[in-house]
Structure 1
């Protein structure tokens, strides 16, 4: 029978669509017996954050089954089933076997992976949870982790996710194993897990050798991670919980459950915490360990201590010396250190003094401690009475820790850490210390002297107040306010005459405010209005009657340094006008109260954004370039284009304020100096500023010039580009 060409065409098209088009599994989060997931199909969680399916990593053509992120561009794999047995073609299938276990089979029907659950039923079902967990359970209790036969969270590969539990057992647990490479998910050379000995620690191993450890868990933080030591309490983060089975587990509770976050042991041996940055559409590394040489396990050998900022990094603990001096000088510290003087308790003799303890502060405590529930005094006695005890520590949340073996993997954290008490021979101890009763007497005598001095100063102050009227002509700071009649009103005082060191510095552009006016503007200097504090005093936010917001720098009454800065700032800033310099709106002087009124900067200072991991993303590269350019323009104005040639002397991130448009303005001219037209440099005995930003010739010799500010600008430039803080210390006058 002849057929119409049109009918033949549509029959052929229907056949093609039915049999030749690639199959697409309907989006679902469950898999039951009799169903399967073929290569190209996926199982998706309800929130569509995770999916189970086949994939080929990197440049590999092998096929694996894994769970990965779904809705983001970088669909990072968090769990792999057949990591040891890849499938060579695209004919693999995921299904539930006859025995109820989850299976991955190849094109020949041979199983390449099984969940191998001991107790399963013939009515099992698989669910992909919104946490990324694959849960195999009875069809009647699907998704119930308490009744699960098997779940991927209990059989992880290289990634730890929030809501996952890591067992704290009686021995080391290698919970996570790295990939072999970025294109090969088979088990690699690195593992990560928990060492429960003493207090639990997170450890990264390279095969059987330790590569990094987190330090001991004290109930709030891992004490060996400096970034965690900045916090004292945690509502979110790691916790130890005891489950219904009576076992202890590490869990992690994120502050924002909607954020995608993971911890991973990378193929090259780093423990990384990553968070998905929605705006950048990339994974942001929040922390990576080991982050530096000192973080590498026992970098300086036994009885050595590693200091990140040291040069060199390694030194021996006090009372010890390098075991191999020649190697030590060449930078090979693996041999560690040995005692200079043997302990008296090891010599079996009563000659010589008794052994004692030396405090090592701000330390990452050594590995392999024994823990006892003892007080600090009893902890010391227990160590003292055992000649094998090398050191002890008493740590909040852990209590008594004692080391009977070599002290390994000790680090100096500078600003954090715990105190370690090391056992030393009598000859190694400092015997110049005065007896306790002598120290107590000296302290008491000092307190009596201070009390008498305060009383005498109070009496002297009363006497000076009584005669202040007759001595006003000799006062260092003279103020002639033409609006005396309004001294106790809330009105603006107006442009009075302000004379400093014989020179009038204010005028129409620098009005005088009376004290009451400023008090009203700042809500009587309330705590809610306080913006910050420095050596000069406090800074408050205020609002003028017209609605203009201001910042008020209130000079501390007892700050001699602040008085000098106050004078200097009025003399300089009143004569300077530039879009990249903070604008002085006026000042207020009434009795002991001295204040400067500035334009308000709503975005605070540059360091507020630059060094905060949460806020760094707000400073995009274009904005950073604009900030650098603005600082440079302001500095050029000070050095070359203003009526006065000014050297700032304290240029740093905290002195760069940001307006509502994130435009930079140089502030804090309290330490600035005026140069003459023909002056190139000045030598001073009063070195002020911030270490780390100071030019070497200024810090060491007191010699400063335009180049000093350029040096500080260079350091600031590196901070803006890198987003890393230049370690600095504040110092006062060296006069």
Structure 2
């Protein structure tokens, strides 16, 4: 009995210490000497604003316990630091974390055999120390300075001992004098936080790259050089990195820090299998969203194709090829799929044989290889090329504006062809290889020139023939002659006669709309190849193309079964050709070839609004300033259609996918196949064929087939709410007893909680009054009765006026759920479906 009492004396003292901790009135985020937290009472420290918590936890299905820091109030636990990674607390033991009177922080486990110190900070201090958990997640042990200067001296901090997680405030770096590194280390397994096989940190060889190493020294993945402003050049476009990382040098210390956008919670976790996962906290659902992972594709793994081997993604698998002038080091292993040996030169460089003549082969879209020698004082690509040409040991170069001139010697390691973006790599080749390539280029150029000459000549003959036929007044004869002699071109008369094809611009001047041949557009789009596909609309596919002169185009190829017949096609051609406005997409030409009908537009590199707005990886690029500019641009485009255009046009299918964005993120309204022209006195029209997209249609149009400019105003209101929330209108079904985004938005606005609608990615940085004004304008635009909705000129005035006196929107009657039991039943259905994104083409109005 006596031994039993003594064996549990430490636990008794620990309990007394915990009670004293409470009795002395210590704050929830601080420990003073003699105070502790314990597994016995489950006590913890919580930072002042409740962001982080320090306590004991068990990972996964393990019963072992660890002292750790995690995000407070978010389940499951996401730890950012673990103290006793290598020495877990056994399930049968109790433990306490105590700040001793000597100033040391100790983790002590008690058992029948007595106390065991399993982890400590190894700090001693003559002055009284304090342990505090900050809202940044850093656990700091500090003491008052002993000299006359006063102040506080940091003795130890958890951020200096990172576990598997990197967050804002931490430093990932290296001491260039001592070689000491601050790295992130993976867990050993999903249930064991002991140091695992992978580490992540700054390149110790002096580059600005971040590496993941396997077993301490073997490169497993690398980020590429830091461009000094917004990204790592070895990572395909990632908005999360934009303005987040910063490389700093202070004395001998060189390190990266990270600042999360919009004060959001973000964490970079090095998983036990070597994959870096980036998590964003989704506040509304109180969960962590896996934003992206790397490496996940085989090509992303370091040196997947060996030295001088070029890796191209084939799904998640790698497809390897040797650079021009190289061959597999071992043909047998290469064919067997073992590419680790890489490739070797098949033909020596001319300079290696004391001859001149070496040139360069351009490889576009590359993750530039490792071991680059950087020359920031070389200010342009030509100088970089010259420097490489004058040095026989230089085998390749690249020039990146924000990085400088990059040169390589020896083998080229970790060559990866990005799926999108990337940089031009110029690989040095002997003249013999360039000469053969040159002959191929000459032949290709000659054939291309001949085709262009033939096309120009035929076009000239066609124009001359039509001109002559019009002079003689023989329209029908010109058609027959044209179709027999130049069948690959179609004239305007194919649109049922010239009287039905507009021939005057908005200014009353005649316009000439280019007519493209089908063969020309097939060549421009790589035979409408899948790699050129930009997207798919309700009436067919859209492809990216390039004309012989280098102009990029977007080709809309209408499907034969799409539902858009000659009328819609003719409609779109007439409208877009005549309507010219900065916020409307520009039509460059068209083509009819048999059953094929194609429209040629200007190419807009940022594609459509929905590609940004509804993609979590891109939504962050749309800050409130950009979104407001898009809102205003759409409104001004509608103003032109509804009032300033001589035609007075109703679009009838205004939605996020029909708003295209140019390189400056300026919006352009597109897809006029559904549009209708109103006469000068006409205000509304009735149709038996309702077309458009459910969810964006006004009630009177969807149910009765009546449309007007107020129909577009309704669609604009829905679009405005989507831009503010960052979510599709269809995602609000039965949310808080609302049928769609309109009912939900009105409910929050009526309860004076409209700010809850704002996309969390912009909420911290936007102008709240401005957004709330836009929400109220949106609710005015989506009122049930068309009469109640404002016209676009007033909408623009209300949006852009800082102090408008806004009307009170009426309560929507078609979009609020009135029966809670029915709502609950629908919510519980396993097969709840929505048609809000379906394009309707044949719906009879009542």
Shorter-chain TM-score tier: 0.5 to 0.7
Shift of residue 113, structure 1, vs aligned partner = 1.5
**Alignment correspondent of 1:29:** 29
Shift of residue 417, structure 1, vs aligned partner = 1.2
**Alignment correspondent of 1:282:** 287
Distance 1:214 1:121 in 2: 45
**Alignment correspondent of 1:217:** 226
Change (3 A) 1:85 1:531: farther
**Alignment correspondent of 2:300:** 295
Q: Check whether the contact 1:199–1:218 (CA below 8 A) recurs between aligned residues.
A: no
Distance 1:427 1:186 in 2: 56
Distance 2:163 2:285 in 1: 27
Shift of residue 150, structure 1, vs aligned partner = 1.5
Stretches of structure 2 that go unaligned for 5 or more consecutive residues are 1-14, 480-492, 501-505, 508-562, 589-597, 603-633, 660-670, 677-686, 699-707, 741-813, 816-833
**Alignment correspondent of 1:380:** 385
Shift of residue 29, structure 1, vs aligned partner = 0.7
**Alignment correspondent of 1:371:** 374
Q: Check whether the contact 2:694–2:836 (CA below 8 A) recurs between aligned residues.
A: no
Distance 2:171 2:288 in 1: 23
Change (3 A) 1:172 1:140: closer
Structure 1 length-normalised TM: 0.61
**Alignment correspondent of 1:102:** 105
- Secondary structure of 2:237's match? helix
Q: Deviations over 1:50-69 (max 9, x none)?
A: 11011222222222111011
- Secondary structure of 1:92's match? strand
Structure 2 length-normalised TM: 0.54
Shift of residue 100, structure 1, vs aligned partner = 1.7
**Alignment correspondent of 1:38:** 38
Counterparts of residues 584-599 of structure 1 (less than 5 Å)? none
Change (3 A) 1:617 1:49: farther
Shift of residue 279, structure 1, vs aligned partner = 3.9
Stretches of structure 1 that go unaligned for 5 or more consecutive residues are 1-17, 482-486, 489-504, 555-564, 586-595, 628-658, 670-735
Counterparts of residues 265-664 of structure 1 (less than 5 Å)? 265-309=270-314, 313-347=319-353, 349-350=354-355, 354-373=357-376, 374-375=378-379, 376-430=381-435, 433=438, 475=493, 477-478=496-497, 527=582, 535-536=599-600, 540-541=637-638, 550=652, 577=690, 600=712, 602=715, 663-664=836-837
In the alignment, is residue 191 of structure 1 matched against residue 199 of structure 2? yes
Change (3 A) 1:192 1:312: closer
- Secondary structure of 2:638's match? strand
Q: Check whether the contact 1:302–1:335 (CA below 8 A) recurs between aligned residues.
A: yes
Shift of residue 332, structure 1, vs aligned partner = 1.4
Shift of residue 90, structure 1, vs aligned partner = 4.5
Q: Check whether the contact 1:577–1:583 (CA below 8 A) recurs between aligned residues.
A: no
In the alignment, is residue 240 of structure 1 matched against residue 250 of structure 2? no
Match 2:183 to one of 156, 175, 181: 175
Change (3 A) 1:468 1:614: farther
Distance 1:140 1:102 in 2: 19
In the alignment, is residue 255 of structure 1 matched against residue 284 of structure 2? no
Q: Deviations over 1:106-150 (max 9, x none)?
A: 2244422222358x4421111111111111112589xx9994221
**Alignment correspondent of 2:792:** none
Shift of residue 386, structure 1, vs aligned partner = 3.0
The alignment covers a number of residue pairs equal to 548
**Alignment correspondent of 2:525:** none
In the alignment, is residue 158 of structure 1 matched against residue 164 of structure 2? yes
Q: Check whether the contact 1:32–1:125 (CA below 8 A) recurs between aligned residues.
A: yes
Change (3 A) 1:618 1:430: farther
Shift of residue 385, structure 1, vs aligned partner = 3.2
Distance 1:408 1:226 in 2: 18
Distance 1:530 1:578 in 2: 21
Shift of residue 253, structure 1, vs aligned partner = 1.4
**Alignment correspondent of 2:681:** none
Structure with the bigger percentage of helix = 2
- Secondary structure of 2:37's match? strand
Change (3 A) 1:235 1:110: same
Q: Check whether the contact 1:270–1:288 (CA below 8 A) recurs between aligned residues.
A: yes
Q: Deviations over 1:506-546 (max 9, x none)?
A: 9xx99x99x9xx99xxxx97546779999555995358699
Distance 1:167 1:227 in 2: 24
Shift of residue 192, structure 1, vs aligned partner = 0.9
CA RMSD of aligned residues (A): 5.7
Q: Check whether the contact 2:371–2:408 (CA below 8 A) recurs between aligned residues.
A: yes
Shift of residue 161, structure 1, vs aligned partner = 0.7
Counterparts of residues 16-165 of structure 1 (less than 5 Å)? 28-39=28-39, 40-88=42-90, 89-107=92-110, 108-117=114-123, 120-138=125-143, 147-165=153-171
Q: Check whether the contact 2:310–2:417 (CA below 8 A) recurs between aligned residues.
A: yes
Q: Deviations over 1:691-729 (max 9, x none)?
A: xxxxxxxxxxxxxxxxxxxxxxxxxxxxxxxxxxxxxxx
Shift of residue 303, structure 1, vs aligned partner = 0.5
Distance 1:126 1:157 in 2: 20
Q: Check whether the contact 1:370–1:403 (CA below 8 A) recurs between aligned residues.
A: yes
Q: Check whether the contact 2:62–2:191 (CA below 8 A) recurs between aligned residues.
A: yes
Change (3 A) 1:115 1:583: closer
Change (3 A) 1:569 1:91: closer
Distance 2:407 2:180 in 1: 20
Distance 1:319 1:469 in 2: 64
Q: Deviations over 1:302-326 (max 9, x none)?
A: 1001111489611111111111112
Change (3 A) 1:355 1:255: same
